[in-house]
Amino acid sequence: MGDRIARRPLRWHEIVQGSVAGLLVVLLVAGALLAYRGGALAAVVGPTAPRAIIVIVPDALRADRLSCYGYDIDQSPHISALARDGVLYRNTNAQSSWTKPSVATILTSLYPPTHQARSYTDILPDDVVTLPEVLAVHDYHTVGFVTNYNLFPRFNFQQGFQDYYALDGVVSTWNRDGQKYYQEAELFNQSVLAWLEANHDQRFFMYLHYMDTHRPYWLHPYDGRSYYDEDPALLGPISDAYDGEIRYFDQQFGNLVAALKRLGLYDDALIILTSDHGEEFLEHDGWAHGKTLYQEVTNIPLIIKYPGGAGAGMTDAGMARSVDIATTILDVAGIPAPSIMEGVSLRQPPDAPARSQLSLSTTCQKGWSMAVRDSRYKLIEIIDGNPRGRAMTQLYDLVADPGETMNLAETHPDVLARLRATLSQMMALSEQAAVGSQEAVLDAEFQERLHQLGY
C-alpha cells in the first residue's frame, strides 16, 4: 500500500510538558474544546456527528475548469454530481498558491504566517494543533493518503493521523525520463479502497491528496507522452492535456464515490472536495503555481456534501476560504473549534458578519508576496522576487475586472489605503500568534524529486 506512518492520536501531554508556547496552545484549546476529567479527555460530539468525514484535494485544480463552475466542456460529471448533492461555494480563496502552506491551512485553520509552514524546507511545527488531532480526541480514527512529496512525513504533515500513507511514485512506461513522480489516481485509489473495505464500520476522518492535475500533464490513455515545458507556442496542447487530467481524475473520483455508496457511507458522510491552489496558463505571463497570487491560482473549487443531503444543490456566493474548512468540519461534527483557529464555519449564511471577513493569501516559494481581498477589491503586494517585472503594488476590481488586467493602485488611493491597512493588521495579528518555525534537512535525492515537480 505504501509507506505507512503510525502516529499516536493524542499528544496533549507532550505539549504540556514542552515549551511555554506549547502550554499556551493547550490552555487556549482547552477553554474552547476539551473537558478534562481525571486524566481522560471527554469528547463532546453532537447527535448528528457524521460517521465518515472525507476531505479530497486534487492538487492544482482550477475552479473554472470544472463543469459545475461554468466551464463550457462537460469534463467533470462526477464532481458535478457531488455538487448536486451538496453546496457549491462560488468564491473560495486559497491561503497560498502552492501546496505546503495551503494544505497546512486546510489542516489547521491557521493562516500561513501563523502556522509557519511556508517555505521549501519548512516543517509543520509540532506546536500547531491540527484538525486530525482534534478529531482523534473525539474518537475519530484519522487516516491520510498523500502522494505529494511536500506532504511527506519529513515535513510533519502526518501530525494527528493515526494512519498516514505516503504513496511514493512508481516507475512505469509513462513516467518522464523513467523518474518517479506520483501515484496516479487509479493506483492511489487501490490503497484507499482497501482501507475503506477493512475499516468502513468505524467512525473516521480521511484526507486524500491526489496529484493528477499537477504537472507534468500526462495524456490519457497513457502512451508515454506528457507536457511540462513552458513553451508559449504549446499553450493549446498544454491546456488540453490539463483538461484531460481533470477528466481522468473525475473518472477515478466517480469510482471512489461508487465505493462509498456500496459500503453505505455516502449518504450520511461529510464529504469536502477542494484544491490547494489553481494553475497558471499565461494569464499573467507565467505557468504553474507558487509564484503569484492572481485569481487563477487562489480561486479554488469547494464543494461540501453535508450529511443527509442538507442544502443539496445550493450555491453559496459568499466569501469562503481554505482557512474555513477545518472549522466547518468541527461545526458539523458538533465539536467546538479551538479558539486559536482563524477560520469560521461556512454553515453561517453568506451575509453573516463572520463570513464577510477578508481573505489573506501569501506565497514565498519563489519570492515573497501577500494579497488581501474583500468581496470586490483585491490588493497584491510583492515584497521580493519579481521575475516578471510587474508592479510591486497591484489593486484590482474583481467585479469589473475578474481577470485582473487593470491595476487601480494609482487611481483608487482610498481603496488602496484601506486594504493596505487591513493587510498590515491581518499580517500583524497572524505573526503575533505564530508558532515556532522548524526546518527540514533535505537529502539530494529528495530535493531532486521536488525539483522535477517544479518546486
pLDDT, tens digit, 9 for 90 and up, residues 67-92: 999 999 999 999 999 999 999 999 99
Range 347-363 average pLDDT: 77
H helices of 228-281, where?
Answer: 235-262
In the prediction, which pLDDT does 432 show? 80
Taken in order of first residue, the domains within the chain and their CATH numbers are: 3-357 (3.40.720.10)
Residues 327, 130, 291, 429, Cα dihedral to 10°: 70
At 418, list the grid cell: 484601506
pLDDT at 353 over 80: no
Q: What are the tens digits of pLDDT across the range 289-333?
A: 878 899 999 999 999 999 999 999 999 999 999 999 999 999 999
- Mean pLDDT score across all residues of the chain: 83
Please state whether beta strands 314-321 and 359-363 pair in parallel, antiparallel, or not at all (unpaired). Answer: unpaired
Angle at 102 between CA 222 and CA 50, to 5 degrees: 85
At 435, list the grid cell: 508558532
Q: What are the tens digits of pLDDT across the range 134-176?
A: 999 999 999 999 998 888 898 899 999 999 999 886 544 445 4
In the prediction, which pLDDT does 43 show? 31
Q: How far apart are CA 108 and CA 341, in angstroms?
A: 7
Give which of 208, 297, 61 is closest to 69, Cα–Cα. 61
Q: Contact 379/369 with Cβ under 8 angstroms?
A: no
Range 28-52 average pLDDT: 41
In the prediction, which pLDDT does 400 show? 97
Peptide bond connecting 338 to the previous residue in cis, omega within 30 degrees of 0: no
Q: What are the tens digits of pLDDT across the range 243-261?
A: 999 999 999 999 999 999 9
Q: What are the tens digits of pLDDT across the range 55-69?
A: 999 999 999 999 999
Q: How far apart are CA 380 and CA 377, in angstroms?
A: 10
pLDDT at 426 over 70: yes
57: left (phi over 0), alpha (psi -120 to 50) or beta: beta
Q: Contact 148/211 with Cβ under 8 angstroms?
A: yes
In the prediction, which pLDDT does 48 show? 67
At 27, list the grid cell: 490552555
At 305, list the grid cell: 456534501
Q: What are the tens digits of pLDDT across the range 214-224?
A: 888 888 888 77
Which residues are paired to 439 by β-bridges?
A: 122
Q: What are the tens digits of pLDDT across the range 390-410?
A: 999 999 999 999 999 999 999
219 half-sphere exposure, CB direction, 13 A CA radius: 9
At 164, list the grid cell: 498516514
Q: What are the tens digits of pLDDT across the range 198-213?
A: 999 999 999 999 999 9
Range 225-242 average pLDDT: 86
289 half-sphere exposure, CB direction, 13 A CA radius: 30
Residue 28's pLDDT band, with cuts at 50, 70 and 90, is: very low
Exposed, middle or buried by CB within 10 Å (0-12, 13-18, 19+), for 238? buried
In the prediction, which pLDDT does 450 show? 66
In the prediction, which pLDDT does 23 show? 27
In the prediction, which pLDDT does 230 show? 75
Residue 24's pLDDT band, with cuts at 50, 70 and 90, is: very low
In the prediction, which pLDDT does 26 show? 28
Q: Contact 393/409 with Cβ under 8 angstroms?
A: yes
In percent, how much of the chain has pLDDT > 90?
55
In the prediction, which pLDDT does 169 show? 66
Residue 182's pLDDT band, with cuts at 50, 70 and 90, is: confident
Q: How far apart are CA 158 and CA 143, in angstroms?
A: 9
The residue type at 214: H
Give which of 243, 238, 247, 248 is closest to 281, Cα–Cα. 238
